[in-house]
Amino acid sequence: MNDQREPSLDELGKWEIQVRKGGLGLAVLAVLWPEKLYGLEILRRLHSQAGMSIPEGTIYPLLSRMKAEGLVDSEWVEADAGHPRKYYRLTAPGRGRVREMAQSWRAFATGLERLLAPLEGASK
């Protein structure tokens, strides 16, 4: 039996969450490429530059894992006003990893774009 039903919004939402999870590590490493940033700045850049709205509760465990893997390093910096901030920066291995991940992502995206090309202009 061939199931031709449209996927529900809930199913689509679950798929989108998985896609975002898969790209989040690359996005965080990429946003740290040019300079060190503190957690809230990382979230703001992800939102402003990539349209990614990530909860604070998601980013800090990810940064902690990346630190444990030696991809990022962190340091506390006193702020002129307010509390100290923990800044994150890429390590040399982190720079290598983001290059590898970007190459893999681009190859995957290019292949997927080829598969999706026939859908352009296709009606429902």
pTM (2 decimals)? Answer: 0.84
* C-alpha span between 116 and 106 (Å, rounded): 15
Span 96-109, average pLDDT: 96
Looking at the predicted structure, is the pLDDT value of residue 2 above 60? no
Look at 100 and 123; give whichever has higher pLDDT: 100
Structural domain boundaries in the chain: 14-113
Span 70-94, average pLDDT: 94
Architecture of domain 14-113: Orthogonal Bundle (1.10)
Q: Which pLDDT does position 113 carry in this prediction? A: 94
Dihedral pair phi/psi, residue 32, rounded to 5°? -85, -5
pLDDT digits (tens, 9 = 90+) for 9-63: 688 888 888 888 889 999 999 999 999 999 999 999 999 999 998 988 999 999 9
